Amino acid sequence: MRLPHCICAVLLVLAAPIQGWQAPPQQGATSGASGYTVFLRGTPLGREDISIVSDATGITVSSRSRLGLPLNVTLRRVEIKYTADWSPASFSSEGTLNDADLKVRTSFEGGTAVTDGALGKRPIAASHPIPPRSIVLPNPLYGSFAGYAALSRRLVGVDAGTEIPAYILPLGPIVVRVAAARAEKMQVGTSVFGVRRYELVFIQAGGKQVVNLTTTEDGTLVRLNDPVSALDIVREDVAASTSRTEVFANPGEESVTIPVSGFNLAATVTRPKTAPPAVPAVVLVSSSASGDRDGFGFGVPFFGQLAGALADAGFLVVRFDRRGFGQSGGRSESATLSDYAEDIRAIVRWLGERKDVDRNRIALVGHGDGGWVSLLAATRERRRIAAVATLATPGSRGGEVLLEQQQEALDRLNLPPAEREQRIALQQQIHAAVATGKGWENVPKTMRTEADTAWLQSLLAFDPAKVVSEVRQPLLIVHGEVDRHVPVGHADRLATLARGKNGPPAVDVVIVRGVDHLLLPGGDGDPTPLRERTVSADVTMAVSGWLTRSMKGAR
């Protein structure tokens, strides 16, 4: 499954919730209904209500949804029926897509899925042979995310290595392989309950894709996360700001709230096992791609692991949910890089008031564009911040980085040259319109809605050359040799900028062989499948050793 990627980084679209709908339970049946909020890069697109009814004759999954741009889908009724042994029986969907009427129906007989319907005046027709007991996963544009509620039920009791046949309707059959399955805890308010997290690999003709699925112990869908498209479907109670998935926990950690301007940031403090009364401290700053404090990506909580390693080296470490994510307040869609830098300043001041922290030895470690935020904060808190380390941080202007990443994605899609150039030209046009406020007339309205935001303006305009020249603290630049998302050449660019006139008093660069964008070793930069699940010891030793040396004489 792959959703259409939005051409820009962040959306600001709020869809109205659907109230009061629930599929009626059948006679003698067991049923369950839940509401889900759909997010794209942390921005809510809308809501879906999903109900599952099961009895002796089979299982029926029903849903209703309304999703804003860029999907722009309203589904009045979706229904997927299975026999008692989980063989698909029928599928139907009715609603609108981009204001055009949508009606799709699929029958499953004799090992063949036959789909017919229409989107406006355009017919929809498909026919595919499918394996027995295939789970139906409709393309979200045609049939919501309800199929994942059924997949969640099928996963109960399965172990890593299990393969489940599935059908992406109306595109064709795939195989869902369970790469990992593990028990975890989730917190909603003060209540903690057990969940199961599954890392699933979708195997299809075009390649592989990792999807993360979290369920209750009885198989109720809690969260679906697609890291590639930055899409999340989260059960309403878990989507609330009082909830948090406990992806990773080091021994003896403390959950805290840190006041900033108008709201609180939720954070975790990791302390050294043995330490003097006041120790040096480190603030971990995540990238915009992962607002969660643990830096959870592709099944690995690499920020949580990094916090543990730095605490073992003698540092008190703070990691936090970005504003608008997890348990933190505030709004993510309207925040700029400058706003995030102000949040870091608030955390540093909060640390300086703790008796167990040496206020003269507080450092920042930022990942991806979190490194940019760290550099910004360091220019504004020269006395309180003693050192800065960046991990996999770009060394080019924001607009150039987004174009570079788009080109890399287009390379993987293997598009015809003409279509590739057309997409790049449109991206460049949008960037220019965001920067100048002019030239929107030839940009589709939906794309303007996605792009014309304060957040994207700040990202496109960010110039590391201007910021790093104002940094007066020692700087460490760490980069993985096989980073595909931010290629290793960015480390050299950032170092060249930092070593120019003025700038940091000392600049060190560490290129870690065989390490990717998530600081994981043993692969070629491709996160699917992951070969290692622990942050590289070469990375943690480089960072902790440099911090110890750089802040040794700070007073």
pLDDT tens-place string over residues 183-225: 887 777 656 788 998 999 998 766 778 888 999 989 999 999 8
Looking at the structure, tell me whether residues 192 and 306 fall in a common domain. Answer: no
Mean pLDDT of 485-510: 93
285 falls in which pLDDT band (50, 70, 90)? very high
CB 482 within 8 A of CB 524: yes
- Say yes or no to pLDDT of 5 above 50: no
Least confident interval from 85-99, 188-202, 414-428: 414-428
Q: What is the 3-state secondary structure (H, E, C) of 73-120?
A: EEEEEEEEEEECCCCEEEEEEEEEECCEEEEEEEEEECCEEEEEEEEC
Of all residues in the chain, the percent with pLDDT exceeding 70 is: 85
pLDDT of residue 478: 98
- Say yes or no to pLDDT of 440 above 50: yes
- Say yes or no to pLDDT of 247 above 70: no
Looking at the structure, tell me whether residues 296 and 379 fall in a common domain. Answer: yes
Which residue range forms the structural domain that includes residue 94?
30-239
Report how far residue 534's alpha carbon sits from residue 520's, in angstroms, rounded to the nearest whole number: 6
User: Is 21 inside a domain boundary?
Assistant: no
**Start-end of H helices in 144-230:** 147-154
- Say yes or no to pLDDT of 239 above 50: yes
- Average pLDDT over the chain, rounded to whole? 84
Reported as a single tens digit per residue, the pLDDT across 56-89 is: 889 999 999 988 876 778 899 999 999 999 999 9
Phi, psi values for residue 489, rounded to 5°: -60, -25
* CATH number for the domain that contains residue 316: 3.40.50.1820
Task: Give 349 or 330, the one with higher predicted confidence.
Answer: 349
**How many structural domains are present in the chain?**
3
User: Is 16 inside a domain boundary?
Assistant: no
User: Is 4 inside a domain boundary?
Assistant: no
pLDDT of residue 134: 95
Mean pLDDT of 216-239: 84
Least confident interval from 117-131, 185-199, 363-377: 185-199
Looking at the structure, tell me whether residues 215 and 109 fall in a common domain. Answer: yes
Q: What is the DSSP letter of 515?
A: B
CB 535 within 8 A of CB 302: yes
Looking at the structure, tell me whether residues 63 and 113 fall in a common domain. Answer: yes
Last residue of a domain, which of 239, 256, 285?
A: 239
Which run of H or of E encompasses 232?
strand 231-235
Report how far residue 43's alpha carbon sits from residue 237's, in angstroms, rounded to the nearest whole number: 17
- Say yes or no to pLDDT of 283 above 60: yes
pLDDT of residue 189: 63
Least confident interval from 99-108, 127-136, 142-151, 289-298: 289-298
42 falls in which pLDDT band (50, 70, 90)? low
- Say yes or no to pLDDT of 297 above 80: no
Looking at the structure, tell me whether residues 442 and 482 fall in a common domain. Answer: no
Least confident interval from 448-457, 497-506, 542-551: 448-457
pLDDT of residue 421: 81
pLDDT of residue 6: 30
User: Is 121 inside a domain boundary?
Assistant: yes
Burial of 496 (0-12, 13-18, 19+ CB in 10 A): middle
Looking at the structure, tell me whether residues 175 and 316 fall in a common domain. Answer: no
166 falls in which pLDDT band (50, 70, 90)? very high
Looking at the structure, tell me whether residues 98 and 223 fall in a common domain. Answer: yes
Looking at the structure, tell me whether residues 120 and 148 fall in a common domain. Answer: yes
Reported as a single tens digit per residue, the pLDDT across 298-343 is: 667 889 999 999 999 999 999 999 988 778 888 776 789 999 999 9
- Say yes or no to pLDDT of 25 above 50: no
Looking at the structure, tell me whether residues 228 and 258 fall in a common domain. Answer: no
User: Is 14 inside a domain boundary?
Assistant: no
Looking at the structure, tell me whether residues 478 and 439 fall in a common domain. Answer: no
